[in-house]
A and B are shown apart, each in its own frame.
Chain A
């Protein structure tokens, strides 16, 4: 039930506020000598309101997972702020941190690896509750029944005593979702929740996630490399390239305009099932994403960019421009008054 007061809070402050977030991992040579940093996330800012699904799209190594894991409190950020419901993540003590984590859920990529093989479904779902102080067995059973019904594993009595290997891939992923939901979080990070599943099951799981999200007014960070599913399951898209969010927009706006040359390349690379595809070649930018230890100066996409402006793109990092209200892009081509 949503009260008037809650509805007001919802409109005034975002659930999650991230500003200038950097997550650098130190590289060491011979144990002590510092050999540089892997800059996995390098200056990312955004707000996430309650009930919104945000998709992080990018290639492997672009920093999507690191960004989500930093928000989840699994890493200590190198620099920048993560503010959740007005609390600064870096100010939290151990107990508050535990409370914070119970407000978040994490859906891992690979259901086969994310579930401990020697625990029954009941133990898997009871563990987060046990850690967070729900020790009453009747209460645990009530919650377990509830989440299993939410993820459509019905009747739940058929599943509670099973072990992960007795379940199909889709069912295992449902258990992972149920585990993320069992503490009734406000924010869930789903890291490639369907990439290991078959096409026919994918849509089913994504729909289920969408339904749970709407039911609980849940904020979702949906990490994926598959732009085609994003259209159906998120409100906003961030395109990540080499540790930066190069384009941020509402889903339909991004699919319509796609300003950044990298976004354009991505959209051109993804086929829709169409027999015409076999007759034409796709235009793919040469090269590969840069190393995150020594990223190129200026815009990180400039060595591969077909529209690179010599003397600007390879020298100065582009700030965020906003060619359309609510649609921002880090690219010099969209500077007001021309580049």
Chain B
């Protein structure tokens, strides 16, 4: 079977599982709403400083939600046994990885669909296609990296501790460029188009690197 169809089959399987159990998305959505709430209390937000603080809260919530969402793609023991069964087939490990990463990103994107309107609602910041685009583009690269490192720490002890430690340094470029993109989309100074093109560059760089690295991480 072609790698693309393998990836689609794997993604479809993961999404179908999530649809039937509804474990991840509600928990993540609740978490995100809570994060926004706490942000409000922690930062003393009023109508004047909302636009400068809101992007920070957005990325904070996104990062932690991302760690959870991508962390569990490879985490569960059960998952490890099934992963082994998949690797025993002729299907390419990179395709399997891509399918799982795609499914996990989709779950995160569903949560983003909750978070962005909520952000606008709670903090009065503008909700525009530009903000959405920035978040979506960043999610792609962050998903690839997050899932790769989730696969790495899945085999290792103390994985909950290790995943943020390894992943966050790699996510910094996305947070910097994405934060700038969202800020400029919300009216603060800075170049939106430059931020977006940077995000796309990072996406391409890390997508290529993760697809090269995936087979070393997944297979024996």
Partners in one complex: no
Show the binding face of A for B, using Cβ within 8 Å: none
